[in-house]
Amino acid sequence: MRDLSLHLLDLAQNSITAGASLVTIRITVDEQGWLTMVLKDDGKGMSPELLARVTSPFATTRTTRKVGLGIPMMMENAEKAGGSLTLRSEVGKGTEMTVTMDTRNIDCLPLGDLSGTVLSLILTNPMKPEFLFEGKTPRGACSFDTREVRAALGSDIPLNEPEVAAWLQEALKEEMDPIFGGVS
Amino acid sequence: MKSLADLQAIRAKTLENINMRKEDDKAARVVIGMATCGIAAGARPVMLKFLEEIKERDLQHVTVSQTGCIGMCRLEPMLDVILPGQEKVTYVKVKPDMVDRIVTEHLIGGTPVTEYTIGAAEG
């Protein structure tokens, strides 16, 4: 994975597979350069046993092969940048992942195209779940909530309809890129 | 500036499109592999390129969706193009600059781009 936005795109898929109805993503970069990314869902959660081994590359829920690299690769990249990856989960309640990285560390991944990631997540999951994104950096704060979009658009329209997709792309760029920079 | 108020007008137009699509049976699908392997290999720019082309050419009958890992990670990014009444065609190691031909020749023209398919890569 070349940047944080690609990790996010990958890891959010775990929340979707867990049957979440709301996926919340919060990314903050503080004045000292510490980055915190929280990915929270209200999906089915993990048992303590699964939670204990899920950071191993040899744990996966997929059936096509025996390795699952999403979480271990994020963990390695976080730790390389002086940070950490922690998970909290409760069966029936959901899962919360917190990733920290020191953006002053030379091994810290670039943020990447965060608005492109949020767009991809929405368009490939056009009916469910809802996504809430909140960002905060020294440049300002931004937020985007698909529940607001759906309330204005009508809940019978999938968000990947071409006209809607074009609007989402512009709206996400306008909201997020000034805060995070639009590097792709 | 984009505002939520824009969505009222978009709603009307989109409902029209959805109804039109129900009436014709041309609906085509593009399904992109977006598991860890697909994303790491560059699936996201490919997907965004498809959305861009579909919007630019106003292809109201095409939908783009995603799937997980199908176990051939070394061939990622992979995608299927499914046209009604035809067998699905699987493209492998897709780069954004290959999307233009897939859209023009396959989604619009109905003829698969043979040299990009899994048959050409593995055959």
Burial class (CB in 10 A: 0-12, 13-18, 19+), B6: middle
Sheet holding B79-82, edge to edge: B62-67, B28-33, B79-82, B89-91
CB contact under 8 A, A123 and B64: yes
Mean of all residue pLDDT scores within chain B: 90
CATH of the domain at A160: 3.30.565
In this structure, what token pair is assigned to residue B25?
A: 């049976």
On the question of pLDDT at B17 being above 90, the answer is no
Q: Is the pLDDT of residue B1 over 80?
A: no
Q: Which domain holds residue A106?
A: 4-179
| A52, part of any domain | yes
Q: Is residue A36 part of a domain?
A: yes
Q: Which amino acid is at A135?
A: G
Contact yes or no for B7 and A152 at CB 8 A: yes
Domain boundaries, chain B: 25-122
* pLDDT tens per residue, range B33-75: 998 899 999 999 999 999 889 988 988 888 888 888 888 899 9
Q: Which DSSP string corresponds to B31-50?
A: EEE-SHHHHHHTHHHHHHHH
Number of domains in chain A: 1
Distances (CA, A) of B100 to A28, A146, B12, B91, B108: 37, 30, 29, 13, 11
* Residue A19 token pair: 């049957």
**Residue A62 — φ and ψ, nearest 5°?**
-75, 160
Could you give the CA distance from residue A105 to residue A23 in angstroms, rounded to a whole number?
Answer: 29
Lowest mean pLDDT among A151-155, B63-67, B108-112: B63-67
The SS3 call for residue B62 is strand
pLDDT of residue B122 exceeding 80, the answer is: no
pLDDT for the residue A184: 40
Helices and strands (H and E) in chain A: how many: 6, 6
> What angle, rounded to 10 degrees, do the helices at A162-180 and A114-124 form?
150
Question: Is A184 inside a domain boundary?
Answer: no
**Who's near B28: CB < 8 A, 6+ residues apart?**
B61, B62, B63, B81, B82, B83, B84, B107
**Which parts of A3-56 fold into alpha helices (H)?**
4-17, 48-53
In tens, the pLDDT along A42-91 reads: 999 999 988 888 888 876 766 555 557 889 999 999 999 999 999 999 99
Residue A115 has pLDDT above 90, yes or no: yes
Which of B9-18, B65-74, B91-100 has maximum average pLDDT?
B91-100
Q: Where are the alpha helices (DSSP H) in B1-123?
A: 6-23, 36-41, 43-56, 99-101, 118-122
Q: Virtual CA dihedral for B23, B32, A115, A55, nearest 10 degrees?
A: 140
> To the nearest whole angstrom, how far is the Cα of B103 from the nearest Cα of chain A?
15
Q: Would you say the ipTM is above 0.85?
A: no
Q: Is residue A25 within 8 Å of A132, Cβ to Cβ? A: yes
Q: How far apart are CA A24 and CA A30, in angstroms?
A: 19
Is the pLDDT higher at B1 or at B117?
A: B117
* Residue A46 is assigned to a structural domain of this protein: yes
Task: Report, in angstroms and rounded to the nearest whole number, the Rg of chain A calculated over CA atoms.
Answer: 16
Measured over the CA atoms of residue B13, residue A171, residue A184 and residue A13, the dihedral's sign is negative
Residue A182 has pLDDT above 80, yes or no: no
What percent of chain B has pLDDT above 90? Answer: 54
- C-alpha A173/C-alpha A182 separation (Å) is 8
Q: Are strands A94-102 and B79-82 parallel, antiparallel or unpaired?
A: unpaired
Alpha-carbon distance A70 to nearest alpha carbon in chain B (angstroms): 6
Instruction: Give the nearest partner residue to B40 out of A1, A64, A123, using CB atoms.
Output: A1
- Token couple for A60: 């996966």
- pLDDT score at B81: 96
Lowest mean pLDDT among A69-83, A129-143, B4-18: B4-18
Chain A residues within 8 angstroms (CB to CB) of chain B = 1-2, 6, 9-10, 13, 62, 64-65, 68-70, 73, 113, 116-117, 119-120, 123-124, 148-149, 152-154, 157, 160-167, 169-171, 174, 184
Class for the domain spanning B25-122: alpha beta
